[in-house]
Amino acid sequence: MPRYDRQVTIPGWDQEKLRRAHVAVVGVGGLGSAVLYYLTAAGVGRISLVDGDVVEESNLNRQVLHFTSDVGRHKVVSALEKLKSLNPEVTLEPLSSELTAENVAILGNPDVLVDALDDLKTRLIVNEYAVENRIPLVHAAVEGFQGLVTTIVPGSTPCLACIYPEPKARATSPVVGVTAGLLGLMEAAEVLKLLLGLGEELSGRLLMVDILSWEFRSIEAKFRRGCPVCGGRKDAESSE
């Protein structure tokens, strides 16, 4: 169909595979806006959107799915409206709820989980769920003009708890809209690659991006001995 004409000719692309896929995006803010927009446009068949917040005016510099007239509305409702209009073929499942360890099972069993959150505590809850259920997890974080992105493949790569052993206290970070947009697009690209089996994901690597210097650095992640979530892949195979 014409909607996907410009992508279906890409070698290895399988539109039907995308149509059958389910992706859950946790966080409908700066990162989430970019991820959701592009996954919806690409034709991912089923997308869950999870966020318990309402739109605030201070979100509008970076959360591009929300408009001035959306201030005060639930983010998932605001996003749903635009995404439906963008691509009515996609099944969108809004979950207007703050994610906690008690309700994390609402994420279900998607093919890929996307961490588009803004606090480490909830990120680690999603990580634990991903590892337990062996669901690939795409993670990104931003601050100012900097960001990082990585993909956790349970059973194969270090998990988020290996990288961030203790949740840092929640703080309001300064974020430039383009940083959230760029890193969100990188997350969306990772999701498409995972679903289509194309290229090499950022599994086991953190890609650090500095927009001011245009430096992109790939950092190797390592299993953490005694990781309570993934076991440090049996403590890095008992230190080889």
Partner 1 sequence: MQKAPNKGFRRVKVFLRPEEREVELEDVKDVRGLLRKLGLREGDVLVIDAKSSSLLTPDEGLSDGQEVEVRRVISGG
Q: Does 234 bind partner 1 (CB under 8 A)?
A: no
Q: Which residue of 57, 88, 173, 216 would you call a contact of partner 1, by CB under 8 A?
A: 173
**Cα 186 to chain centroid, rounded:** 9
User: Cβ of residue 136: shortest distance to partner 1, in angstroms?
Assistant: 19
Place of tokens 């403590």: 235
Q: Which of residues 5-64 bind partner 1 (CB under 8 A)?
A: 27, 29-32
Q: Is 162 exposed, middle or buried (0-12, 13-18, 19+ CB in 10 A)?
A: buried
Determine the interface stretch with partner 1 among 69-77, 96-104, 158-166, 192-200 (rule: CB under 8 A): 158-166
Q: Does 117 bind partner 1 (CB under 8 A)?
A: yes
How many CB atoms sit inside 10 A of residue 120's CB? 18
Determine the interface stretch with partner 1 among 10-18, 71-79, 102-110, 146-154 (rule: CB under 8 A): 146-154
CA angle 233, 236, 240 (to 5 degrees): 140
Q: Does 181 bind partner 1 (CB under 8 A)?
A: no
- The nearer residue to partner 1, 85 or 238, going by C-beta atoms, is 238
Q: Does 233 bind partner 1 (CB under 8 A)?
A: no
Question: What is the total count of residues that contact partner 1 (CB under 8 A)?
Answer: 40
Residue 125: enclosing H or E segment and its boundaries? helix 120-132
Q: Does 125 bind partner 1 (CB under 8 A)?
A: no
Q: Does 110 bind partner 1 (CB under 8 A)?
A: no
- The nearer residue to partner 1, 123 or 193, going by C-beta atoms, is 123
Residue 152's contacts (CB-CB under 8 Å, 6 or more residues apart) are 127, 130, 131, 136, 137, 138, 139, 158, 159, 160, 203
Q: Does 223 bind partner 1 (CB under 8 A)?
A: yes
Determine the interface stretch with partner 1 among 37-45, 76-84, 127-135, 213-221 (rule: CB under 8 A): 213-221
Q: Which of residues 187-206 bind partner 1 (CB under 8 A)?
A: 206
Q: Does 141 bind partner 1 (CB under 8 A)?
A: yes
115/227 Cα distance (integer angstroms): 20
| Phi, psi (deg, nearest 5) at residue 178 | -65, -30
66/28 Cα distance (integer angstroms): 9
- Three-state DSSP at 50 gives strand
Which residue ranges make up the site for partner 1 (CB under 8 A)?
27, 29-32, 116-120, 123, 140-143, 146-148, 162-168, 170, 173-175, 180, 206, 217-225
